[in-house]
């Protein structure tokens, strides 16, 4: 399932260029255009789902694959032990593209709470 007007669906389809750093049968990982850390990679499922909860309900294995891909990206970027994974779900939580995606952040210290 894809959405014609979805930015991330268009990146997955190769219609919009992105710096892809990792891909699997179910996921694509690419650098964020507005990085919030030295390493900031977005991991998206190839299938369009509007957010993480919808993805988990529709395809739990794809949701798990996002996390496996994110871990592989973190290791490849040199962040074996220290990185942050973030899902934003909904506009008030900071989600701006309504295609499920996981942020992989690393390369600097992070504070808590994050927002």
Instruction: Kindly report, residue by residue over 53-73, the tens digit of the pLDDT.
Output: 999 999 999 999 999 999 999
Q: What is the pLDDT of residue 1?
A: 53
Residue 101 annotated to the active site: yes
Q: What is the pLDDT of residue 2?
A: 62
- Distance in angstroms (rounded) separating the CA atoms of residues 76 and 4: 31
In the numeric block, which tokens belong to residue 77?
């970027």
The DSSP element (H or E) to which 96 belongs, if any, is none
- How would residue 3 be classed by pLDDT, with cut points 50, 70 and 90? confident
- Distance in angstroms (rounded) separating the CA atoms of residues 101 and 54: 11
Instruction: Kindly report, residue by residue over 25-38, the tens digit of the pLDDT.
Output: 999 999 999 999 99
In the numeric block, which tokens belong to residue 78?
């040199």
Catalytic residue among 40, 79, 101, 103: 101
7-106 carries CATH number 3.40.1010.10: no
In the predicted structure, residue 17 carries a pLDDT above the cut 70: yes
Domain ranges of the chain: 7-106
Instruction: Kindly report, residue by residue over 80-107, the tens digit of the pLDDT.
Output: 999 999 999 999 999 999 999 999 999 9
């Amino acid at each position: 399932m894809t959405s014609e007007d979805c930015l991330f669906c268009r990146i997955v389809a190769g219609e919009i260029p992105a710096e892809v750093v990792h891909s699997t049968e179910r996921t694509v990982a690419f650098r964020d255009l507005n990085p919030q850390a030295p390493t900031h990679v977005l991991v998206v499922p190839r299938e369009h789902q509007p957010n993480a909860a919808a993805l988990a309900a529709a395809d739990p294995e794809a949701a798990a694959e996002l996390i496996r891909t994110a871990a592989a990206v973190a290791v490849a970027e040199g962040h074996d032990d220290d990185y942050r994974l973030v899902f934003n779900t909904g506009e008030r939580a900071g989600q701006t593209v309504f295609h499920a995606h996981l942020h992989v952040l690393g390369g600097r210290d992070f504070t808590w709470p994050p927002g």
